[in-house]
Amino acid sequence: MEKELKIAVIGGGSSYTPELIEGFIKRAKELPVKTLYLVDIETGKEKLEIIYQLTKRMIAKTGLDIEVYKTLDRREAIKDADFVITQIRVGGLKARAMDERIPLKYGVIGQETTGPGGFAKALRTIPVLLGICKDIEALAPEAWLINFTNPVSIVTEMIHRYSTVKTIGLCNVPISMINNVAKIYDIDSSRVRIDFVGLNHMVYGKKVYIDGEDATAEVLKGLVEGKSMNMKNIKDLNWDAGFISALGMLPCPYHRYFYLRDEMLEEEIKALEEKGSRAEQVMKLEESLFKLYQDPNLDRKPKELEERGGAYYSDAAVSLVSAIYNDKGEIHTVNILNKGGTPDLSEDVVLETNAMIYRSGAKALSAGRLPETVKGLIQAVKAYEVLTVEAGISGNYNTAIMALLANPLVPSYKVAKDILDDIIAANTKYLPQFSKDKNTARGE
């Protein structure tokens, strides 16, 4: 008899959840989901109820026999689960707005996953995810944790270092890049393959293949001619033809923060003055989305969700769950330990790369040596990520300073210290590990 699966979604009240539900519905024939738990916290109770009702309508429309539950007790949801999916935002969008605004005070990029903004998000998230992992270890030790929580690379790194939970980190950027290439050629995305290597939100397409033929040069030519290779939440600034020619690879949208730093900083400052931070824009978008979700006649994922930046989320998440459950041996782009990925990073760190997915887990496909043109940047960002994990676990002020200084977007010690002090002050209730009693090196 086919095993009936229990799925727990931590952060079930997220506006992204309808994407996930759509994915389970689309793959119902290959994924026998019997029980689906949507989990959130007290402050997310109202949104959880709205998502719960929409989920029930979506499933009822299909006639699938899936029992849906909502709960504020994550242990109830995790107990005996086969898969746990994490998509949490500690502190909500208000905390994200602080992450975006604080660095800008000091002339530094303010972005939710990259640079000091991503650092702040990681510090808030690490203790919470570690607690979730402890619950999985105790209540569902055989479960797979599919982590979508940003910053994915840092969070997945922490799980591997401080937990025994089986985990794979996932992001929709690689699948979005594949789909964008398919759009350029007006073909089905199944005909496109990209050899990815790097880190989450710092991943490069080394080679692009269409129907098995190398199409890298053509795709790069299309990119410099202004064809979009972007995410909904990143300003579309065209790449310079000379830069793309020199790079010789497909950059991801988040590379703009490193290679077009001045332009992106100017754009962020301008946007902040004219329409608020991206978080504040998303708050308005989410408000309209949840109004849509409350419509008792809505029984599908609304098209408007794509404006949220979550396009292809369900394809990435649920196809990975299916590949594990069905032992497919498919190629997915995932965040896993660097065992066989590239010799230019330690084997015990997490990278984002192509891997074969089996029931036993993910096996990295060799990406070979990192090109010299990007090796130093990737290694620097990985050092920053490892130090951020240690700072998030220990609450050590000096480790946190050195983590920020390792990030290529932070220009000096003074700026790092000013930003860190502001982050700690603004996030006091989320960062108990950074108590004044514990740290005596702040110069206070």
Residue 250 DSSP class: B
Confidence band for 315, pLDDT divided at 50, 70 and 90: confident
Q: What is the pLDDT of residue 325?
A: 97
- CA-nearest of 412, 427, 421 to 443 is 421
Q: Which of 30-39, 138-147, 298-307, 423-432 has the lowest mean pLDDT?
A: 298-307
- Tokens 């794509």 belong to 306
Helix ranges, 341-433 (H): 372-394, 397-406, 413-426
End-to-end CA distance of the chain: 65
Cα-based angle 373, 266, 382 (whole degrees, multiple of 5): 35
If residue 362 lies in a helix (H) or strand (E), which one and from where to where? strand 361-364
Token pair recorded at residue 386? 């490892």
Percent helix, strand and coil across the chain, each rounded to 5?
Answer: 50, 15, 35
Give, for 183, the enclosing helix (H) or strand (E).
helix 173-185
Q: 368-396 burial string, b = 16+ CB within 10 Å, else e?
A: eebeeebeebbbebbebbbbbbbbbbebb
Hey, what domains does the chain have and what are their CATH numbers? 5-171 (3.40.50.720), 330-364 (no CATH)
Question: DSSP string of 196-249?
Answer: EEEETTEEEEEEEEETTEE-HHHHHHHHHTT-----TTS--PPPPHHHHHHH-S
One-character DSSP codes across 71-87: ES-HHHHHTT-SEEEE-
Residue with tokens 């939970």: 165
Q: What is the mean pLDDT of the chain?
A: 93
3-state SS class at 186: coil
- Of the chain, the percentage scoring pLDDT greater than 70 comes to 94
What pLDDT is recorded for position 225? 79
The stretch 33-47 carries a mean pLDDT of 97
pLDDT category of residue 53 using cuts at 50, 70 and 90: very high
pLDDT over threshold 70, residue 228: no
Active site residue 430: no
Residue 371 φ/ψ, nearest 5 degrees: -55, 140
**Given the structure tokens 């962020």, which residue do they identify?**
268
pLDDT above 80 for 388:
yes
Residue 280: is it exposed, middle or buried by C-beta count within 10 angstroms (0-12/13-18/19+)? middle
Selected catalytic residue, list 37, 52, 254, 430: 254
What pLDDT does 347 receive?
95
At 226 the pLDDT is 64
Task: Say if CB 323 and CB 315 are below 8 A apart.
Answer: no
HSE of 363 in the Cβ direction (CA atoms, 13 Å)? 8
pLDDT (0 to 100) of residue 330 = 95
- The pair of structure tokens assigned to 312 is 């292809």
pTM, full prediction: 0.94
Q: How far is CA 168 from the centre of its chain?
A: 11
Three-class HEC string of 289-347: HHHHHCCCCCCCCCHHHHHHCCCCHHHHHHHHHHHHHCCCCEEEEEEEECCCCCCCCCC
Reduce the DSSP state of residue 41 to 3 states and report it.
coil
Eight-class DSSP state of 49: H
> Which two structure tokens, joined as six digits, stand for 252?
């991801």
pLDDT for res 231? 54
Bridging pattern class, strands 192-199 and 350-358: antiparallel
Question: Does residue 210 surpass a pLDDT of 70?
Answer: yes
Torsion angle of alpha carbons 27, 32, 34, 38, nearest 10°?
Answer: -40
Return the number of other C-beta atoms located less than 10 Å from residue 296's C-beta: 8
Would the pLDDT of 62 be above 70?
yes
Residue 180, pLDDT above cutoff 70: yes
**Position 277 confidence tier, pLDDT thresholds 50, 70, 90:** confident
Q: Residue 185 pLDDT > 60, yes or no?
A: yes
